[in-house]
Amino acid sequence: MADAGRGRPDPLTEQQPPTQFANVPPPPAMLDRSFTLQVVMELQKLVAEIGAKTDRLITDVAGQGEKIDAVRHQISFVRGVLWVFGFLVVIMGSLITLYISGKLAITIKP
C-alpha cells in the first residue's frame, strides 16, 4: 500500500474504461400477454374483495342503526316513566301539603 503512490498505480483506485463488452443475453421479451392477464386477474380479485367488504360494511351499519333505534325507544320509555312518576310525586306532595295545612279533611267511615 505504501508503494501505491510512488511508481506503481493502485489497480483498485485507478479508473480505466473496459476493454471488452459484457456478453450477457437480454432478458426474454414477453411475447404473450400473460403478465397483463395476471395483473387483470389480480385486480379482479381485489375488486371482488372490496365488494364483499363493502357489503359487510353496509350490513354492519344497518345493524348499528337497528341498535340505535332500540336504545332510542328504551330512552323514550324511561323518559315517559319519569314524567308519570314526577307527576304522581307532585300530586302526592300537593295532597300532603293540603292535608297538613288543614284545607283537606279526610274522613273515613267505618
SS3 92: helix
At residue 8, the pLDDT reads 66
C-alpha cell at 31: 411475447
pLDDT band of residue 29 (cuts 50, 70, 90) is: low
Going by C-beta distance under 8 Å and a sequence separation of 6 or more, which residues neighbour residue 99?
106
Tens digit of each residue's pLDDT (9 = 90 or more) over 7-20? 666 666 677 777 77
pLDDT at 32 over 70: no
Tens digit of each residue's pLDDT (9 = 90 or more) over 57-66? 999 988 888 8
DSSP symbols for 27-91: PPP--SSHHHHHHHHHHHHHHHHHHHHHHHHHHHHHHHHHHHHHHHHHHHHHHHHHHHHHHHHHH
Cα separation, 91 vs 21, whole angstroms:
107
Tens digit of each residue's pLDDT (9 = 90 or more) over 17-28? 777 777 888 777
Tens digit of each residue's pLDDT (9 = 90 or more) over 72-101? 999 999 999 999 999 999 999 998 888 888
